[in-house]
Structure 1
Amino acid sequence: MRRSGGALLGGCIRAGFENNCWRPDGSLVGSNAELVGLTAAQFLPCRKEAMSAQQLRELWAAVIA
């Protein structure tokens, strides 16, 4: 999982089966939700939290407006 650098610098990341389907140990993830959870868990020690779907919708609406 190589998403952490950009996120720690203030960028946004996206995680899901369309991007990757492997755990850090090389085994296949069981679901998209598991992959998103693994990605979000990386940032807990850095006090970075994942946005909810509603928060993301609101962000996109503000950018588009």
Structure 2
Amino acid sequence: MEIDKVTFWGEHTTILGWYETLENIEKEIREIAGAINNGDGAYSLKYNAEIELGGFFGSSKIKK
């Protein structure tokens, strides 16, 4: 997931992926490393959590 947003102060922020557990992060890293070793030109995140942007300052949080 990639979300490009502009914060209240005009900063650009790109969120590539949020994860609910360390286990999900580790699985993602292993699969990314495998894709690199296979010479894959692209990889889509599989274990990241869905997030939503909201609030006055455009803060991010995991969707419940």
- Rg (Cα) greater in structure: 2
Would you call these one fold, judging by a TM-score over 0.5?
no
The structure with the largest strand share of the pair is 2
For normalisation by structure 1, the TM-score amounts to 0.29
Greater fraction helix: 1
Name the TM-score, length of structure 2 as normaliser. 0.29
